[in-house]
Amino acid sequence: MAVDDATRWVGNATVQVPSRVGLTRKRQPDILARPFLGLRITTEGIHMYAVVVTGGKQYRVMQGETLRVELLDAEPGAAVVFDQVLLVGDGDSILVGQPLLSGASVSAKVKSHGRADKIKIVKFRRRKHHRKQMGHRQHFTEVEITGIAKG
């Protein structure tokens, strides 16, 4: 038995544990200890954006974007206005509502209506001769954001 080895009792047996003299632990590089890399965070090229609530969900939108929201009661080609706006950002300035911004709105144009891909639901209980299969296709409205107005 070497000088650095240790003896331990495990159950009814004596086990020799080898020394850890030759083992080294690798250290992960510390990112905070590195010098500053000179990165600049700029807001150039960032357009106005807003966070709106529709269909119980929140969406971050920008002008010209197309997104799918819960089914709206509007014909394709019709204009829709989302007046529940939580936040409006324009470059360095950000307006946050408590909870909504008064007077802010997001205008959009309805492009189409549709149904999403089918989701399969399977309920299965083993050894009970029980299996239930269902499917679901969620309805959606595709809208194109045409403008964002601050409050």
| Domain count of the fold of the chain | 1
**Boundaries of domain holding 138:** 44-149
**What's the Rg (C-alpha) of the chain?**
30
Domain assignment of residue 34, yes or no: no
The pLDDT tens digits of the residues spanning 98-122 come to 999 999 999 999 999 999 999 999 9
pLDDT, greater one: 29 or 145: 145
Percent of the chain clearing pLDDT 90 (strictly above): 64
Residue 77 backbone phi and psi in degrees, to 5:
95, -10
The pLDDT tens digits of the residues spanning 56-105 come to 999 999 999 999 999 999 999 999 999 999 999 988 889 999 999 999 99
Residue 32 backbone phi and psi in degrees, to 5:
-70, -20
The Cα-based distances of 63 to 27, 81, 118 in angstroms read 47, 13, 30
Domain assignment of residue 116, yes or no: yes
What is the pLDDT, as a whole number, of residue 138? 96
Domain assignment of residue 39, yes or no: no
pLDDT, greater one: 142 or 9: 142
What is the pLDDT, as a whole number, of residue 18? 54
What is the pLDDT, as a whole number, of residue 16? 54
Domain assignment of residue 58, yes or no: yes
Domain assignment of residue 117, yes or no: yes
Domain assignment of residue 33, yes or no: no
Domain assignment of residue 2, yes or no: no
Domain assignment of residue 52, yes or no: yes
